[in-house]
Amino acid sequence: MKPEKRSDPLVIERVQTGVRLEKRLLKVLKGLAELKDLSLGDLMEGIVLHAFEGKPAFSKETLAQIAELRKIYHMPLRATDSHKLKDKPA
Please check whether residue 11 lies inside any domain of the structure.
no
Q: How far is CA 62 from CA 14, 29, 32, 57, in A?
A: 26, 12, 8, 9
Please check whether residue 73 lies inside any domain of the structure.
yes
Please check whether residue 70 lies inside any domain of the structure.
yes
Pair 72, 32: CB distance under 8 Å: no
Whole domain around residue 27: which residue ranges?
23-79
Please check whether residue 71 lies inside any domain of the structure.
yes
pLDDT in tens, 8-47: 889 999 999 999 999 999 999 999 999 999 999 999 999 9
pLDDT in tens, 62-84: 999 999 999 999 999 999 999 99
What's the total number of domains in the chain?
A: 1
Q: What is the pTM of this model?
A: 0.87
Element (H, E) at 21: none
